[in-house]
């Protein structure tokens, strides 16, 4: 009897070669081929092309989508099932530095490995639509999108605190820093203010939150996005500083507890701290502020950590009862949230309770706890006590009464806060998209004209910051770095680069029209292919990549409404892509 054996090396490579030659999985580009035929856009999270090649998680997701892609083709759909490479980033840059070769060479090597591995598995991708975020014909459009955001005021420069490692002359990410040291070398890291590009994602906080309802994603992922955006409804209350003309504002979600605010706390970076500190307290406050500067927000707000702080010598007037309450500086209050100052209510807040116990500050209950309640902060509901005109009301009614009272006296107003922060969009790295901007001698920032995009990465000698701590691009020759405008004004190019997230914010759109040299993607392709019908990606990207991508997607409306692309007006691009996540 004849023995049948399956010889994968012979059989699979034979068919894979035939698929390749005949372009068996080619998706038609010609709109004529779309007419009257249903479409199915099936998207995989594209891999970050580190040197390691595929990990088991990649084929796991890619297998599921491939089965479906093949089925949809057989059912008569035009199937868009593309693959590409998330190919800028630190890992590649580090390899380049170590081997002393150009990151583009490392990238090509890594991509070849990924492509070969993926092809070997036999997935049915349309390889004619392969994209790579680090290739100039792709990042040209990433730069173009950035310029659109900048034109609309959604990108701006600001001095923000970063993790600066003096020994390495570079900025580190929060993940690379532990206990004030760089995790790999143990070199000390300090917080330093640096001029950085920021994207104003907070301007979209409310829309990003509301429109989660329109996105067809697993509930867990949606909930993570809601928490990340962190909408918080409260009141801004004004406090006068005793014996001065100065005043300050706090943000609270518990205006009902105002009678129990027995002290106030400022973030160490608060601009009023220096002015209000008394001479007697000045050196102690200064020392505390200096120390706090080196801690990250995470370290500062760690609930388990011992509370630290220092009295400023100044007093605030509690607007509810006109009592003078001491003002402290403590690092558990962050400058980046609310107003950077709080009214502390130890009886109804854990952190304030602990702080009051540590520093022997008064505690006044304003909500009556149950009779058997111990010596702890009470966060539950109950009738207001020690609270004048609020006494007897429950928390919700007290909140409303107090808000009305504050507003009627001009001492406060209802306010919504978001936990979401603007997006720090600069990196002091080489292997990323250069910003298409120039700083002129008088300080003004100028966009590089669209006709001159892409701004390509210049050759440099070493993929390291300069000895005086400027980003690697500052090593470029003056031919690249220095600009002279036709009218003779001089300027210097931006030397920061964009973060790895930039390219992955819009790759699903480029696939639809991967070789378009005149537009990022055509309206026609977008009308046909969007939204994404099925997406499989990792849940670990729920709040960064997927939120950033939603933000950029919403920004395309801006483009849609600009005169050059008015044909976008009625396009489905206004809606979030309907994505599905595994995990």
Residues at the interface with ligand ANZ (CB under 6 A): 232, 251-254, 257, 267, 333-334, 337-338, 340, 342-343, 345, 348-349, 417
Please, which residue, 50 or 384, has the CB nearer to ligand ANZ? Answer: 384
CA distance 294 to 331: 11
CA distance 42 to 36: 19
> Measured from the CB of residue 397, what is the shortest distance to ligand ANZ in angstroms?
16
Please, which residue, 301 or 582, has the CB nearer to ligand ANZ? Answer: 301
CA distance 144 to 397: 51
DSSP assignment string, 86-152: B--SHHHHHHHHHHTS-HHHHHHHHHHHHHHHHHHHT----GGG-EETTSHHHHHHHHHHHHHHHHT
> Measured from the CB of residue 226, what is the shortest distance to ligand ANZ in angstroms?
13
> Measured from the CB of residue 221, what is the shortest distance to ligand ANZ in angstroms?
21
CA distance 397 to 347: 19
Please, which residue, 300 or 578, has the CB nearer to ligand ANZ? Answer: 300
Which has the closest alpha carbon to 234: 398, 406, 415, 409? 415
Please, which residue, 168 or 379, has the CB nearer to ligand ANZ? Answer: 379
Task: Give the bridge partners for 40, in sequence order.
Answer: 79
CA distance 260 to 530: 54
> Measured from the CB of residue 230, what is the shortest distance to ligand ANZ in angstroms?
7
Please, which residue, 259 or 501, has the CB nearer to ligand ANZ? Answer: 259
> Measured from the CB of residue 288, what is the shortest distance to ligand ANZ in angstroms?
16
Instruction: Let me know: does 42 contact 534? Beta carbons within 8 Å.
Output: yes
> Measured from the CB of residue 272, what is the shortest distance to ligand ANZ in angstroms?
14
CA distance 234 to 343: 13
> Measured from the CB of residue 243, what is the shortest distance to ligand ANZ in angstroms?
24
Q: Which two tokens stand for residue 263?
A: 């002290």
Burial track 276-295 (b if 16+ CB lie within 10 A, e otherwise):
bbeeebeeebeebbeebeeb
> Measured from the CB of residue 401, what is the shortest distance to ligand ANZ in angstroms?
16
> Measured from the CB of residue 263, what is the shortest distance to ligand ANZ in angstroms?
11
> Measured from the CB of residue 406, what is the shortest distance to ligand ANZ in angstroms?
13
Q: Which two tokens stand for residue 62?
A: 């890619």
Please, which residue, 61 or 234, has the CB nearer to ligand ANZ? Answer: 234
Q: Which two tokens stand for residue 51?
A: 């040197």
> Measured from the CB of residue 328, what is the shortest distance to ligand ANZ in angstroms?
13
Backbone φ, ψ for residue 119 (5° rounding): -65, -35
Please, which residue, 144 or 228, has the CB nearer to ligand ANZ? Answer: 228
Element spanning 79, H or E: strand 78-80
CA distance 396 to 415: 16
Q: At what angle do helices 57-74 and 103-121 cross, to 10 degrees?
A: 60
Please, which residue, 165 or 237, has the CB nearer to ligand ANZ? Answer: 237
Please, which residue, 85 or 353, has the CB nearer to ligand ANZ? Answer: 353
Pairing relation of β-strands 324-329 and 263-266?
parallel
Please, which residue, 122 or 369, has the CB nearer to ligand ANZ? Answer: 369
> Measured from the CB of residue 346, what is the shortest distance to ligand ANZ in angstroms?
9
CA distance 302 to 291: 16
Beta strands per DSSP E along 300-420 = 310-317, 324-329, 341-344, 412-418
Task: Give the bridge partners for 128, in sequence order.
Answer: none
Residue in the block written with tokens 């370290």:
299
Which burial class, exposed, middle or buried, applies to 191 when counting CB atoms under 10 A from its CB (0-12, 13-18, 19+)?
middle
Please, which residue, 337 or 506, has the CB nearer to ligand ANZ? Answer: 337
Please, which residue, 338 or 531, has the CB nearer to ligand ANZ? Answer: 338
Instruction: Let me know: does 377 contact 353? Beta carbons within 8 Å.
Output: yes
Please, which residue, 157 or 363, has the CB nearer to ligand ANZ? Answer: 363
> Measured from the CB of residue 228, what is the shortest distance to ligand ANZ in angstroms?
13
Which has the closest alpha carbon to 203: 568, 551, 442, 484? 551
> Measured from the CB of residue 402, what is the shortest distance to ligand ANZ in angstroms?
11
Which 3 state secondary structure label does DSSP give 56? coil
Please, which residue, 267 or 546, has the CB nearer to ligand ANZ? Answer: 267
Instruction: Let me know: does 381 contact 395? Beta carbons within 8 Å.
Output: yes
Which has the closest alpha carbon to 111: 126, 82, 129, 131? 131
């Amino acid at each position: 009897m004849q023995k049948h054996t399956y010889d994968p090396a012979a059989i699979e490579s034979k068919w894979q070669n035939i698929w390749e030659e005949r372009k068996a999985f080619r998706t038609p580009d010609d709109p004529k081929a779309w007419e009257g035929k249903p479409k199915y856009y099936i998207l995989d999270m594209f891999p970050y092309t580190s040197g390691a090649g595929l990990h088991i998680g990649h084929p796991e997701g890619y297998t599921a989508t491939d089965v479906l892609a093949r089925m949809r083709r057989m059912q008569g759909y035009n199937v868009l099932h593309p693959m590409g490479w998330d190919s800028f980033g630190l890992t590649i840059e580090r390899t380049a530095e170590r081997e002393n070769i150009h990151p583009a060479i490392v990238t090509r090597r890594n991509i070849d490995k990924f492509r070969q591995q993926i092809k070997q598995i036999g997935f049915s991708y349309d390889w004619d639509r392969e994209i790579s975020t680090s290739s100039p014909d792709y990042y040209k459009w990433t730069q173009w999108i950035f310029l659109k955001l900048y034109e609309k005021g959604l990108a701006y420069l600001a001095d923000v605190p970063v993790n600066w490692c003096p020994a390495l002359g570079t900025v580190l990410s929060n993940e690379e820093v532990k206990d004030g040291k760089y995790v790999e070398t143990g070199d000390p890291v300090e917080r330093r203010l640096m001029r950085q590009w920021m994207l104003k994602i907070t301007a979209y906080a409310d829309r990003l939150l509301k429109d989660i309802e329109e996105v067809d994603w697993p509930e867990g992922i949606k909930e993570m996005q809601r928490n990340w955006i962190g909408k918080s409804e409260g009141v801004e209350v004004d406090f006068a500083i005793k014996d001065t003309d100065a005043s300050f504002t706090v943000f609270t979600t518990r205006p009902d507890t105002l009678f129990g605010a027995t002290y106030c706390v400022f973030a160490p970076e608060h601009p009023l701290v220096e002015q209000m500190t008394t001479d007697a307290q000045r050196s102690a406050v200064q020392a505390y502020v200096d120390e706090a500067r080196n801690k990250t927000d995470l370290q500062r707000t760690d609930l388990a950590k011992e509370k630290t702080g220092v009295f400023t010598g100044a007093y605030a007037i509690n607007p509810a009862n006109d009592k003078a309450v001491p003002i402290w500086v403590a690092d558990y209050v962050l400058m980046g949230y609310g107003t950077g100052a709080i009214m502390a209510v130890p009886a109804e807040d854990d952190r304030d309770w602990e702080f009051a116990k540590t520093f022997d500050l008064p505690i006044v209950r304003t909500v009556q706890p149950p009779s058997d309640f111990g010596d702890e902060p009470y966060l539950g509901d109950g009738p207001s006590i020690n609270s004048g005109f609020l006494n007897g009301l429950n928390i919700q009614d007290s909140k409303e009464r107090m808000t009305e009272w504050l507003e009627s006296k001009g001492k406060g107003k209802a306010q919504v806060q978001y936990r979401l922060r603007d997006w720090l969009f600069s990196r002091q790295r080489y292997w990323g998209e250069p910003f298409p901007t120039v700083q002129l001698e008088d300080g003004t920032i100028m966009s590089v004209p669209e006709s001159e995009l892409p701004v390509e990465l210049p050759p440099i000698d070493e993929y390291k910051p300069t000895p005086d701590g400027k980003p690697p691009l500052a090593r470029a020759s003056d031919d690249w770095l220095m600009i002279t405008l036709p009218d003779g004004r001089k300027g210097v190019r931006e030397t920061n680069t964009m973060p790895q997230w930039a390219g992955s914010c819009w790759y699903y759109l480029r696939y639809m029209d991967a070789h378009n040299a005149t537009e990022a993607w055509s309206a026609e392709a977008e009308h046909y292919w969007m939204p994404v019908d099925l997406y499989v990606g990792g849940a670990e990207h729920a709040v960064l990549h997927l939120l950033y991508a939603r933000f950029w997607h919403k920004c395309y409306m801006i483009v849609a409404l600009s005169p050059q692309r008015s044909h976008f007006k009625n396009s489905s691009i206004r809606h979030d892509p309907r994505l599905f996540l595994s995990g």
